[in-house]
Amino acid sequence: MAKYRKLGRTSAQRKALIRNQVTALLYNGKIVTTEAKAKEIRKVAEGLIAMGVKEKDNFEEVTVTAKVPRKDSNGKRVKEVVDGKKVTVYDEVEKKIKKDLPSRLHARRQMLKVLYPVTSVPTENKGKKRNTKKVDLVAKIFDEIAPKYVGRNGGYTRIVKIGQRKGDGALEVLLELV
């Protein structure tokens, strides 16, 4: 018996499909797909969540000073003339940042190998590039998803059978985070 389902695709197509579906599952919380795909996606997603649960508290907070450009009331950078050139004025600000310890950094990089970059688009600006934000899905796993599953040993996803698809009769399921 094979260790995984081939899903009728070449290896590159299959890996891309699984990466795409896992990214959608972790971003949205649930997806609708076929049963065979869901079982393959579940393996990868549960591995990522388990990694997040294991490494969620493995960081240290560090205070750093950062140069931040000063802005006026309109949100534009304040400029002043120095030696005949316009130069942006910077303020020094102290910030607290999370510094990953080596094992958490490794886990973050392993997750980034699987997850695609996600861009969030507000509904009022659909189809436009303006006001889009890049979503840090790895941070979402560490900060939102992993704390929910701390006391749980696996079983982070649920497969609920919906019924057969009208076009080809494939069994559709809802794959969701528990």
Tens digits of per-residue pLDDT, 144-157?
A: 999 999 999 999 99
Please state the pTM of the whole predicted model: 0.85
Q: What is the CATH number of domain 11-57+101-177?
A: 3.90.1030.10
Counting as low any pLDDT under 70, the low residues of the chain are 1
Q: What is the pLDDT of residue 18?
A: 97
HEC readout, 77-122: ECEEEECCEEEECEEEEEEEEEEECHHHHHHHHHHHHHCCCEEECC
For the four alpha carbons of 71, 72, 77 and 81, in that order, the dihedral sign comes to negative
CA distance 115 to 146: 16
Tens digits of per-residue pLDDT, 125-140?
A: 777 777 788 999 999 9
Domain boundaries, the chain: 11-57+101-177, 59-100
